[in-house]
């Protein structure tokens, strides 16, 4: 095994400060990329998708649960599988407490092609309580390019899609797939993919921090049991 060399504390500090300069460059570049993502145009969803969940059939608008934004994780779970994808399961395991997303008007849900009757026992096995819907009743997975035909066979790939609600209009704002999911899972990393972002005053483009009519900054970061859902 090749390991870094052992040095004095002073040498380590000097090397760490040199690396910190590069890390700050990446942080600023990420902020700029997130701002550019928030400036992406949107596409109105005029197709009626039907899902199945714990309360029966639901539309894409229903998945918002009344909030302004929706983040959908495209969980790989084909109809013929007995269990969900291991990598997708690891991804859901690292999702933070949903109260922090919901406090910023954002709903998180998983969607798979497997029937809900197959999803439900696997969800119970994993101990997850997050919303999870079956898209087996339509072509949602096909339209959002997570179920693809390759060499005459249907294959699954993981992905994540973001939506914005304007009254009863649903707008598709962003999607990413496979390696684009690297590093995601925390509340801030998911909000960074949305049109409204973290809703902080320092974010560009300006004017979206107050979109939900709530105070920005540390006043909005509470213990998860203090939020009013």
- Pick the range with the lowest mean pLDDT from 125-134, 151-160, 219-228: 219-228
For residue 187, give the nearest of 71, 104, 101 by alpha carbon: 101
Does 80 reside within a domain? yes
SS3 string, 148-211, reads: EEECCEEEECCEEEEEEEECCEEEEEEEEEHHHHCCCCCHHHHHCCCCCCCCCCCCCCCCCCCC
Does 18 reside within a domain? no
- Pick the range with the lowest mean pLDDT from 100-109, 132-141, 180-189, 198-207: 198-207
Residue 221 has pLDDT above 90, yes or no: no
For residue 47, give the nearest of 147, 131, 163 by alpha carbon: 163
Does 129 reside within a domain? yes
Residue-number span of the structural domain to which 175 is assigned: 39-226
pLDDT of residue 177: 98
pLDDT tens digits along 14-50? 999 999 999 999 999 999 999 999 999 999 999 999 9
Residue 193 has pLDDT above 70, yes or no: yes
Does 19 reside within a domain? no
Cite the DSSP H helix spans in the chain: 9-38, 60-63, 86-93, 98-102, 116-126, 140-143, 187-191
Does 34 reside within a domain? no
How many CB atoms within 10 Å of residue 50?
Answer: 16
By the 8 A CB rule, do 222 and 102 touch? no
Does 101 reside within a domain? yes
What pTM did the predictor assign? 0.93
Number of domains, the chain: 1
Measured between its terminal Cα atoms, the distance across the chain in Å is: 50
Does 207 reside within a domain? yes
CATH number at residue 174: 3.40.30.10
Does 21 reside within a domain? no
Pick the residue with more confidence: 208 or 35? 35
Q: Which two tokens stand for residue 30?
A: 């990420």
Q: What is the rounded distance in angstroms from the CA atom of residue 113 to the CA atom of residue 138?
A: 9
């Amino acid at each position: 095994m090749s390991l870094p060399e052992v040095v004095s504390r002073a040498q380590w500090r000097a090397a760490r400060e040199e690396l910190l300069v590069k890390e700050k460059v990446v942080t600023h570049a990420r902020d700029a990329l997130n701002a550019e993502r928030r400036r992406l145009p949107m596409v109105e969803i005029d197709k009626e998708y039907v899902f199945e969940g714990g309360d029966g059939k639901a539309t894409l608008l229903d998945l918002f649960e009344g909030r302004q934004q929706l983040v959908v994780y495209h969980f790989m779970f084909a109809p013929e599988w007995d269990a969900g994808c291991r990598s997708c399961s690891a991804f859901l395991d690292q999702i933070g407490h949903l109260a922090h997303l919901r406090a910023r008007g954002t709903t998180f849900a998983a969607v798979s092609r497997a029937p809900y009757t197959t999803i439900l026992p696997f969800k119970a096995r994993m101990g997850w309580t997050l919303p999870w819907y079956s898209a087996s009743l339509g072509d949602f997975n096909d339209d959002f390019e997570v179920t693809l035909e390759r060499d005459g066979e249907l294959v699954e790939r993981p992905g994540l899609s973001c939506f914005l609600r304007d009254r009863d209009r649903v707008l598709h704002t962003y999607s990413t797939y496979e390696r684009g999911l690297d590093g995601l899972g925390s509340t801030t990393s998911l909000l960074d993919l949305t049109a409204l972002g973290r809703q902080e005053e320092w974010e560009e483009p300006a004017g979206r921090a107050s979109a939900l009519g709530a105070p920005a900054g540390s006043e909005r970061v509470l213990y998860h049991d203090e939020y009013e859902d």
